A and B are shown apart, each in its own frame.
Chain A
Amino acid sequence: MDLALQALPAFLAGARDTVIYCVTAFPLALVLGLVLALMRNARTVWLHGPARIFIEVIRGTPILVQLYILYYALGAILAQYHLANMINAWSAGIAALALNYAAYEAEIFRAGLASVEQGQTEAAYSLGLSRAQNFFRIVLPQAIPLMIPPFVNDFIFMIKDSAIVSLVSGTDLTSILSFWVTRHGSNPLPLYALAIVLYLAMSLPTSFVARKLEARVRASLQF
């Protein structure tokens, strides 16, 4: 208990860094995911082909592999061009999280956009709206409420997945945990308990919100 109290400030700083990783990477993943989803829905294979390949490759490989490629391999490549300081745990971690989650968000976007009835689009066109207006004013606003619960769910997954940056010398909660465990190797259990409590403090309220939102969406769909 003493040890846990002693470690608390450092662990809180780690939790803050975990949140920073996720809050930075998730919007990037959303934007990239929307672009991928639109590309995937495009008629020409020049757009939906590359999007499909990207999504399949990202979903077919572990996020740790992607992080290592960015951190070690891309870092070495960039070092050749004297850009070595561009790749660190922050940039590689955020990039890996954003790229990985973009592939998953794209699928959510696609499912959400597909759930808006075709009749809405037809009505919009018949009222003289342009394709862009139809997408941003008619389709997307109707799709977003359906997509929020899975997005929140994925955000929780991202909080958990951001732990991998501890394997490339990050500063998130798990990195702090490993650091303290190495220093207090004989009595690590309180440290693990503290880290687990902090992670639960981040994920459980979020998952509660997700469940509430989901119930609300379900209720509003039944008319």
Chain B
Amino acid sequence: MQKHAILKGLRPAPQRHGWRTAFDALFYVVAAVAALAFGIYLLSYQNILFLYFPAFLQGMLVTLVVSLISTVFACLIGLLGAFGALSSFRPVRWLTVTYVEVVRGTPFLVQLLLWYYGFGLALANLGFHPDRIAFDIMTVLQNNSLVPDSFNSYFYGIMALSFHYGAYLTEVFRAGIRAVPSGQTEAALSLGLDARQTMRHIVLPQAIKLVIPPLANNFIGLVQDSSLLSAVSVLELEHITLALGAPQTDANAKLFVFIFGALFYLIICYPLSLLTRRMEAKQHH
């Protein structure tokens, strides 16, 4: 009994007083009231809200589509980069390391501007026009009205995102492949599988499981970084927000439009980050 008391004295145990519980409960009441007030705040601008909602939805769709396409390409680049980084041929390894270090050492915005204004212009001088190529292809398919006006922005924006996140995913995939115990590779090789089969059937399936949480984290980062594509006139969520928000003459309405745009990002990113954290927690236990 006495020992128990001493232990209790050592560790400041959470002592739940009645008033403290009530005080904590009050927080949820206040939070509910605040949430309600936020809802009323949104509804008090319902004329703007209903007028702009379709545009915001369209912007969110563009953000999601651009992010998904970029993720696919970034995964391909990342996988290629991981094989390059693990390659036994030295120049390939150096090339991969240079790519990863340069991309990770410079801002995404600079890379984006470089793709769009720098490479875009240089390639156009050499006679490469992505918009014309897309238009010609879609003309053959009798759907050329689907090609957006500023197709070059989308093209180079997706290129920039893919190349940027390709470098991050290179590291992710490399760590994932490295994390598969070498005993697995040895067992597969001793069972008579060749190097390619071992990678394809033994190592990669196990690595992918490890890679999913960081991949999801990078996807969240990619969605957020896609907001910078507004700088090269891709009509994604942030571009729409700025275009609709900046001309507002009423300061409060301006604040509302920007907050409304931020909510769309929150709707995309918050569930994803919850999911990622749950997956991470599952893996660690």
Q: Contact residues of A with B, CB < 8 Å?
A: 43-46, 49, 56-57, 59-66, 68-69, 72-74, 76-77, 79-80, 122, 125-126, 131, 156, 159-164, 166-167, 174, 177-178, 181, 185-186, 188-189, 192, 195-196, 199-200, 203-204, 207
- Besides A65-B241, A68-B258, A199-B110, 14 more A-B contacts (Cβ < 8 Å) are A44-B23, A45-B24, A46-B24, A69-B259, A69-B262, A72-B245, A160-B107, A160-B108, A163-B107, A167-B228, A174-B113, A177-B113, A200-B102, A204-B105
Asked if B28 and A203 sit within 8 Å, CB to CB, the answer is no
Tell me which of A44, A72, A161, A207 has the highest count of chain B C-beta atoms within 10 A of its own C-beta: A72
Tell me which of A62, A159, A204 has the highest count of chain B C-beta atoms within 10 A of its own C-beta: A62
Chain A proximity of B248: nearest CB distance (Å): 8
The residues of A that contact B231 with a CB separation of less than 8 Å are 167
- Of A65, A122, A188, A203, the contact of B11 (CB 8 Å cutoff): A122
Given the interface contacts A60-B273, A160-B108, A163-B109, does A126 sit within 8 Å of B259 by beta carbon? no
The 10 closest A-B pairs by CB, nearest first: A163-B107, A76-B251, A62-B224, A73-B255, A62-B227, A160-B107, A203-B105, A163-B109, A60-B269, A60-B266
Asked if B27 and A46 sit within 8 Å, CB to CB, the answer is yes
Asked if B109 and A166 sit within 8 Å, CB to CB, the answer is yes
- Of B224, B254, B265, the contact of A73 (CB 8 Å cutoff): B254
At the interface, yes or no: B121 with Cβ under 8 Å from chain A?
A: yes
Q: CA of A178 to CA of B28 in the docked complex: distance in angstroms? A: 48
Given the interface contacts A163-B109, A178-B113, does A65 sit within 8 Å of B251 by beta carbon? no
Chain A proximity of B174: nearest CB distance (Å): 16
Given the interface contacts A57-B266, A61-B265, A188-B117, does A164 sit within 8 Å of B109 by beta carbon? yes
The residues of B that contact A44 with a CB separation of less than 8 Å are 20, 23-24, 27
- Of B108, B121, B242, B246, the contact of A188 (CB 8 Å cutoff): B121
Asked if B238 and A62 sit within 8 Å, CB to CB, the answer is yes
Asked if A69 and B270 sit within 8 Å, CB to CB, the answer is no
The residues of A that contact B91 with a CB separation of less than 8 Å are none
Q: Which A-chain residue is minimally distant from B125 (CB atoms)?
A: A186
The residues of A that contact B104 with a CB separation of less than 8 Å are 203, 207
The residues of B that contact A65 with a CB separation of less than 8 Å are 227, 238, 241, 258, 261-262, 265
At the interface, yes or no: B101 with Cβ under 8 Å from chain A?
A: yes
The residues of B that contact A163 with a CB separation of less than 8 Å are 107-110
- Of A56, A73, A122, A162, the contact of B259 (CB 8 Å cutoff): A73
Q: Which A-chain residue is minimally distant from B28 (CB atoms)?
A: A45
Tell me which of A64, A77, A161, A164 has the highest count of chain B C-beta atoms within 10 A of its own C-beta: A64
Chain A proximity of B164: nearest CB distance (Å): 10
Q: Which B-chain residue is minimally distant from A80 (CB atoms)?
A: B251
Using a CB-CB cutoff of 8 Å, which residues 174-189 of chain B contact chain A? Answer: none
Asked if B110 and A192 sit within 8 Å, CB to CB, the answer is yes
Chain B proximity of A60: nearest CB distance (Å): 4
Q: Which B-chain residue is minimally distant from A206 (CB atoms)?
A: B105
The residues of A that contact B142 with a CB separation of less than 8 Å are none
Binary contact readout B62-77 vs A (1 if CB under 8 angstroms, 0 otherwise): 0000000000000000
Asked if B118 and A189 sit within 8 Å, CB to CB, the answer is yes
Q: CA of A81 to CA of B104 in the docked complex: distance in angstroms? A: 42
Q: Which B-chain residue is minimally distant from A198 (CB atoms)?
A: B106
Asked if A125 and B12 sit within 8 Å, CB to CB, the answer is yes
Chain A proximity of B26: nearest CB distance (Å): 8
The residues of B that contact A207 with a CB separation of less than 8 Å are 104-105
Asked if A126 and B266 sit within 8 Å, CB to CB, the answer is no
